[in-house]
Structure 1
Amino acid sequence: MKIAIMGCGATGSVYAGLFASAGHEVWAIDRWAEHVEAMGRKGLTLTGASGERTVPVNATTDPAEAPECDLVIIATKAMDVAEAAEAARPLIGAKTIVMPIQNGLGSAERAVRILGRERVKIGVIGGFGASVPEPGHAHHNGWDLVRLGEVSGPASDELKNLEAVWTDAGFKAQCFDDLDGMIWEKLICNVAFSGPCALTGLTIGEAMASPEASVVSLWCAQEAFNVASALAIDTGVKDPARHIRAFAAKIPDAKPSLLLDHQAGRRSEIDVINGAIPRAGLRVGVPAPVNESITALVKEREKTFGGQGSKASQE
């Protein structure tokens, strides 16, 4: 297949490295010129949970340089999805599948508004703990499940074929019929660590081990669970505290993308992660004061930051 990664930062580079290693023609597209130049000159090096490899990829800052692709993965930050979807138009043919994979809520809707419901599929990942130590090199601490779903309705044959593409590249992938459930299951983990780790500077494992920070993480997760339950969304989670502890145990050394953003002086996706919980809670009369406070504190800190930059990585 011809596969384009729009936003080939941290997690996007994990996709690119493993798909290229499996023999696909990969186009790594990103605005970070140094990363693109390094990938084009010496290949993409991927280290971490999936092993170590250096693979050739087609790297560019301009989507118009790439051909029409079979699969376009939008791996940008949530606030950049609309721009990436517009920029991806030269890559899209009659049978192209577009898959936005972001943290938080709302990315699928942005892609659908621009590219149409008929070509968009949804991806949800968690537990990768990806980062870019240097241009041309991505590292990931975990390698958890890639959840695939339709914008609405049960998994189609097309989506099941796409599941096989991911699986053959070494990912643990699975189709789900309940899109909302898989998004909120991940969101429970995201809110537990994204804002709290950004504010404290702690890794996921350190936050869970801290008596003080873990209380905040647990309350963030509990509030998300409460809102999902009030929305009648089946996340498959019975005990949110146990759920996030199990998540943390898989990638204790990982830094959530919000922490990586703050360390680089970039604004983050806080509005679609912790900030999404009080907004959703308002619709069903469920308060979420801890997530609301975390969001306010993160946004206050980010007033001192510059632009978002193109090197943003996704957990």
Structure 2
Amino acid sequence: MAHSGQRAPYFTPSLPFTGPIHGGLHDGLMVIISGTVLPTCDSFKIDFQCGPYPSPHADIALHFNPRFEERGCVVCNTFERQNWGREERKDAMPFFKGHPFEIRVLVKHDSFQVAVNGNPFVEYKHRIPLSKVNYLSVSGGVDVAIISFQDTAPPSAWCPRAAGITNAVFLPMQFAPGSTYSSNPAFAPGPYQPQTYPVPYHTLIFGGFYPSRSLIITGTIPLHADRFHVNLKWGEHIAFHLNPRFSEKTIVRNSQLHQSWGPEERGLPGGMPLLPGQSFTIWILCDTHCFKVAVNGQHQFEYNHRVPNLQQVDRLEIEGDVTLTCVQV
């Protein structure tokens, strides 16, 4: 079976969405769901299902259901043999209307561990064997940017804030408990626009960029863009430099080790896949011998590793002419 980290993500699925979890669930698998809560959201739900049929047909091992209309709570439950089990209700709302979110569900042998926006949120003990769970469903008042899968994740990767990692997308979580989107002066009501990340963008990669791990970047390229770059680094070294250049209609790849650039790689068999004025998704998958890069779901090229120890690659840097809407590490 292929590593879970090599399972292709689901990009911008239309809701309601139901899709297979290829290879099923197992201890150590992490499912990451990034998106934005719509300003009109009353509730949304994420279901780990036994089969593709929507409830009430398929059994649901984990029903994760944030409800804004009930004074702000999150309900977890299991649906089995056409009946709901005992609700586990948490009277806290980690989501903000009109703002981005990131949910990380870490599958353990005895439970689902859920982190929201970098913070541990809830643990839900299994009531249905993991071996039966093979589909994921998302519905309700959210836009989903990406659903991705990581395998053999480092222990703290599921709650980045606990590991000292902060991100612009997590800013709403820094306000006092009980604060809400509507009462928070920093988020006064207004036209709905997805929040963007600041550029230059820098973040830690906790646990290093080992084989089977992937990185997903979504955004928009300004109309008059010249170039931007994505660097995977440690110290002053750049293990992988990915540099779209629009005037040259190519994506330059290179490494900078000991303050010296190596030979550039420029070939694009299918032509330049990134265009000014358009949105994009870049997926970088770390394989055993190379980085594999896909743009907008289409494989573009491979870049053979020039660094022997990828575990030391611990920083992501994105700079230049680009607007970032989501970064999944």
Determine which structure has more spread, i.e. the larger CA radius of gyration. Answer: 2
* Both proteins in one fold, TM over 0.5: no
Pick the structure with more strand per residue. Answer: 2
TM-score normalised to structure 2 length:
0.27
Pick the structure with more helix per residue. Answer: 1
